[in-house]
Amino acid sequence: MKKSKAIISFTLYFFLITVFLLPPFSTFAAVREVTIFPASAKVWETAKIRPQCSAQDKCQSVITIPPLADPESFVASLPAKSGWKIEDIKFDSTAVKDEVKIAALRKQLEKLKEEKTELQAKIQALDVQLQFWQAQTKAKTKNPAETDSLAAAIGKNVRKSFQEKIINEVQLEKTNKKLKELQDNLNQAASKKETAWEVTMTLSGANQNEIMLSYNYLLGGCGWLPLYRLEALPAEKKISFSWEAEIWQSSGDDWKQAQVNLATLQPAISTVPDELPAWIIKPRPVYSYKAARIMEEKSMRAAAPTEALAQAAKEDETPVQSSKTTYSVWSLGKKNIPAGVKQRLKIKDELWPADFTYLARPSLSPQVYVRAQIKFAEAVEIPEGQSVFLIDGAVLNKRTFSLNGTEGILYFGVSPLITVSSMAQANKSGEKTFFQDKQTHLWQWLIEAKNASAANIKLLIEEPAPQARDERIVLTFKHNPEPTEKDNARFILLMDIPVQQKKSIQTIIEMAAPRDLKLDLGWRR
């Protein structure tokens, strides 16, 4: 009976300690949703808080947010039916240890200690084996044959044991070195304290033990990069497009099953437009390089774009895009994002229908480029990032890629099986005669295109068209075949070339101008 009373008394004592003496810090805090920008993130968290009230009906609760959080962006709210109201919020810096890092280092340290113990046991066992075989050298034998056999056995086993001992001693030395490094890192992490933000909220309202608090803030040390893979498939008239996001966060805690959104732009630096400056016309001052540089830097800062703050996207689905006024948000669903580790998440895999042609500019080079034109039913927004370009499984290169709008043109390197050459057949000036009072010039080229591939192709040839900058200059053109398209700067010809076939294009350009007009005939000769 006395024992039962003692147990009841201890239980009651423990309950009172738990309820009344616990500090007013948050419990069960969890990251519910994050919108990650290229160089920051907006984080939504929930936490069960237990306000501590004084005799003057002043209740307070304290939560901690990460060191890289911006306290100016902190916003908190309580359920409308809770009966509580937030009267005031204060921020103080507080020193905290990186417990996650410390725990990980301790785990690695224990594992290495186990490896060290195992290596030491192996080395000790090998020492015993060596002592045994060395002792056999004193053993007596009956005849020379038995002596030779014993000597061979001793030599073989001593050599084997000695080699294994050396290998294990080298490994033990490496393990000891790693142990020292890990211990130093652990000591440094245990002694190092980072400055986090302690948020103290003054509350008023009903008297209950726990409330669910929702809050959000902007967090530095986070971001994401788009990574692309574009593979041309000319035989299928398609482009295989893959988009991944490389994500990282440095909050100090893992985000577990948080709704993850990716925003294509940073949150706004300023929220209101600049005032229009006065337009003043006055005499130009004496030039000063220093003053000009200062004005240039001010102008560049004023021209920096302002960007809207991201909002939450849809819950727990495959990546879904939602368009905002000036940017897009991709919802990736609920994900685990560990702290301090870069992680890749898939955004989309698509096959784009594409119209493939082979582009040649023979006046510049005999090389022919694989060109793909793509069109979309709706506008797309693909932010700038690094992409690997391939054609039929072969890697071409890695370069910057972005796409906005309903159509685009992509290039997939040079085709070695398609060649286009340009040969000058005439490039001469006419005589300047007194009676004609004019000067002339004649250009004539023969272009040959050859298709040595195993498929029919469409070849797009672009050549420069001479442009007269004086109305007295008269130009006439003759083509065989005629260009598909002409403008002031180019002749464009689109033609089909069957497998293992070639075609020729002839161009003649004649120019006439007054005899006394001095001319620059430009780069094309």
The pLDDT value recorded for residue 506 is: 95
Q: Which residues pair with 404 in a beta bridge?
A: 381
d(CA 32, CA 257): 8
Residue at token pair 């042609």: 357
Angle between helices 99-135 and 144-191 (to 10 degrees): 160
Residue-range domain boundaries for the chain? 22-97+193-221+255-270+278-337, 99-191, 418-514
Query: Residue 366 in 3-state DSSP?
Result: coil
Check: CB of residue 355 under 8 Å from CB of residue 376: no
Q: What's CA 77's distance to the chain center, in Å?
A: 34
pLDDT tens sequence across 102-142: 778 888 888 888 988 998 998 889 888 888 888 887 777 77
Q: Could you tell me which of 501, 521, 499, 502 has the C-alpha nearest to residue 511?
A: 521
- Tell me the residue ranges of DSSP E strands in 172-222: 194-205, 211-219
Q: Say which amino acid occupies 475.
A: L
d(CA 459, CA 87): 73
The pLDDT value recorded for residue 337 is: 92
User: Within the chain, which residues score under 50 in pLDDT?
Assistant: 1-27, 286-316
Residue 47, exposed/middle/buried by CB under 10 A (0-12, 13-18, 19+)? buried
Q: Say which amino acid occupies 515.
A: R
For residue 481, cis peptide bond before it (omega within 30 degrees of 0)? yes
> Which structure tokens are listed for 402?
């972005």
The pLDDT value recorded for residue 435 is: 58
Phi (first) and psi of residue 312, to 5 degrees = -70, 150
Residue at token pair 């805090």: 29
pLDDT tens sequence across 416-425: 999 999 999 9
The pLDDT value recorded for residue 45 is: 95
pTM of the model: 0.63
Check: CB of residue 435 under 8 Å from CB of residue 471: no
**Element of type H or E holding 115:** helix 99-135
